[in-house]
Amino acid sequence: MSLITWIILFCLIGGVVSVLAAAAFLLFPEKLRARLLPHFISYAIGALLGAAFLALLPHALEAPGVADAHHITLTVLLGVLGFFLLEKMVLWRHCHHDHCEAHDPVMPATNKSAGTIVMIGDTVHNFVDGILIAAAFLTDVHLGVVTAIAVATHEIPQELGDFAVLLHSGFSRGQALLFNGLSGLATVAGGLIAYYGLQNYDHILPYALAIAASSFIYVAVADLIPGLHKRMEMTATVQQVSLISAGVLTIYLVHGTLH
């Protein structure tokens, strides 16, 4: 299978398939969704951190064109700060429920403009994810697979939140599915642009991987982990740590098996 086919396939998995999975999850009873969603988020945290520290950063640091590891770590730091600014501009956000604090202060959820903001932010996010997936595949096919898995794990709970915000903003279920699906295609667009734009610039790829790592670290630490602290009881903590560990283990095993 050609490299561009790999990129398109896994960009679809990371973008569009996650939308369809989230839509299917909405068919579950609301109480069941409320119980399962924190488990999905815990697992996603582990997958994101595992992909960042066990796959993306090692490849970036070991790349032939990297003369100084400090350049890579500086790129990660600047990436984290950059994603912080994007989130401040509501262009990079993670809603996992119907009341997203990134949007509620701006306008009421019953206003369709809130849904439009969600779609703009989600489209930008998906486009960047596509670039990161393509950069990983251009470095190593196995790394691309691991990166796409990490993207998919955190996209599913995010898309659930997007559906909820759109529905509460006055969109029908059909409209919410259509707009989320179109937004998911931005992942493919980002992947294709990165494939044609980066394949002749090998010296840029390690820094693209560093940006991917900073994206995963930021999403896990800034957006997902704070929500877990709302449940402080020991049983919940054990479940969270177990599922985070399972996410890390998944990346470790997939990356190790593929290699």
Which is nearest to 206 in space by CA: 71, 14, 84?
A: 71
Identity at 227, one-letter amino acid code: G
Residue 88 CA to residue 77 CA, distance in Å, equals 17
User: What is the band of 222 on the pLDDT scale with cuts at 50, 70, 90?
Assistant: confident
pLDDT, tens digit (0-9, with 9 covering 90-100), for 174-210:
888 888 888 889 999 999 999 998 887 878 889 999 9
C-beta separation of 110 from 223 below 8 A: no
User: What is the band of 91 on the pLDDT scale with cuts at 50, 70, 90?
Assistant: low
Higher-pLDDT residue of 97 and 202 is: 202
User: What is the band of 132 on the pLDDT scale with cuts at 50, 70, 90?
Assistant: very high
Instruction: Compute CA distances 87 → 95, 124, 196, whole Å.
Output: 12, 11, 28
- The pLDDT assigned to 19 comes to 84
C-beta separation of 83 from 218 below 8 A: yes
Instruction: Compute CA distances 73 → 79, 103, 131, 210, 214, whole Å.
Output: 10, 32, 20, 8, 9
CB < 8 Å & 24+ apart, contacts of 201-206: 202/65, 203/65, 205/63, 205/65, 205/135, 205/138, 205/139, 206/59, 206/60, 206/61, 206/63, 206/65, 206/66, 206/72, 206/139
Kindly report the average pLDDT of the chain as a whole number.
84
Query: For the whole model, what pTM was predicted?
Result: 0.83
- Residue 60, φ and ψ in degrees, nearest 5: -65, -45
Higher-pLDDT residue of 3 and 199 is: 3
Instruction: Compute CA distances 229 → 97, 222, 223, whole Å.
Output: 16, 12, 12
Structure tokens belonging to residue 12: 């679809």
Mean pLDDT of 62-82: 88
Instruction: Compute CA distances 173 → 41, 62, 166, 176, 236, whole Å.
Output: 23, 46, 9, 5, 32
253 burial level (CB within 10 Å; 0-12, 13-18, 19+): exposed
